[in-house]
Structure 1
């Protein structure tokens, strides 16, 4: 199965290539020359030591792509913050349809878990659901974009 790739010309005249799609795309910034005229030889530049671990991970992702001819999904783990933000958006979707906290919990955690633990000996599930609802309402009140920006800093 071919991997999607997009070639972009930047406003400054440079080039970028996105290999794959979504949050697991590999981006190559072309420092000089062009990819459009003939075969190229790639060189990876490391400038400074800030974010060295992230830069090495990017190089590892590229090496795995060349080896396996596919974007290495396991090297693009979903962060806990991203999962949390997705949960908050799902909460807002459920709250738009109903005000039931139990319905929110069933959407997030599954009907079987809610049936077993919603009124059980511990209130962990209700507390977690209420906390997510509070955070989601704050997200809506403050404006989605501002909240998401601060969450990923």
Structure 2
């Protein structure tokens, strides 16, 4: 994990954090561990990241500018060694990331972006563009741009199984955490092994996601 620091003089508000890293080219970056981690994805790997060019806003300044000081969301800016800026906006569990080249985005800037994307990227990039436009007008990341993942309940179970497996818990103990004591006491010894198989599949799926399978969710 690259080292990061927050230089006090650059902080525009309590919600803005400036992160500097000494190494570029990693697949993703995280500013910290735990539930407060800010994760930055590489735009080459994740089409949800919107590439933009930041240009100096010459006077008179209109409303069509990105001004970080105007937003109440948590904002983190990561600057890589090659000078690229990665802007991450976080709001109530939702996030929007921009990959910006050009002038510093710490000042009000005018953003431009390509209008030609590959068919594989088009849907995600258009959604990010609409979300950015909404953010600039409302100051928030609106839920409409972040539909619920239909597999979220199953994926939560898979991640809990993975956590238990990594911690060294036996499969029966993982089953207790996933399905409850009553279900385990009733079905664990069933000759069909259906409940045991469910735990095994959840652990196997979790390890597959951990070992690179999660990249499919970025598409």
Class of the TM-score when normalised by the shorter of the 2 chains: 0.5 to 0.7
Gaps of 5+ in 1: none
- Determine which of 76, 88, 97 is the counterpart of 1:6: 76
Please provide the CA RMSD for this pair.
4.0
In the other structure, the counterpart of 1:15 is: 85
In the other structure, the counterpart of 1:27 is: 97
Asked if structure 1 preserves the Cα contact closer than 8 Å seen for 2:161 and 2:199, the reply is: no
**How far apart, in 1, do the equivalents of 2:82 and 2:73 lie?**
27
Asked if structure 2 preserves the Cα contact closer than 8 Å seen for 1:91 and 1:136, the reply is: no
Gaps of 5+ in 2: 1-70
Query: How far is 1:62 from its partner?
Result: 1.6
How many residues are aligned here? Answer: 141
Report the structure, 1 or 2, having the larger strand content: 2
In the other structure, the counterpart of 1:152 is: 215
- Length-normalised TM-score, structure 1: 0.62
Query: How far is 1:115 from its partner?
Result: 6.4
Asked if structure 1 preserves the Cα contact closer than 8 Å seen for 2:131 and 2:142, the reply is: yes
- Length-normalised TM-score, structure 2: 0.47
**SS at 1:41's partner residue?**
strand
Query: How far is 1:78 from its partner?
Result: 4.3
The Cα offsets for residues 88-113 of structure 1, whole Å up to 9 and x where unpaired, read as 44224434464252x3233224456x
**How far apart, in 1, do the equivalents of 2:163 and 2:106 lie?**
44
The correspondence of residues 55-74 of structure 1 with structure 2, limited to 5 A, is 55-73=125-143
Query: How far is 1:5 from its partner?
Result: 0.7
The correspondence of residues 70-85 of structure 1 with structure 2, limited to 5 A, is 70-73=140-143, 75-76=145-146, 77-78=148-149, 80=151, 84=155
The Cα offsets for residues 38-90 of structure 1, whole Å up to 9 and x where unpaired, read as x2222232333331011111112223323432223453444749963x54442
Q: 1:30 to 1:118 in 2, by over 3 A?
A: same
**How far apart, in 1, do the equivalents of 2:163 and 2:132 lie?**
37
Match status 1:44 vs 2:113: yes
With a CA cutoff of 8 Å and minimum separation of 6, indicate the structure with the bigger relative contact order.
2
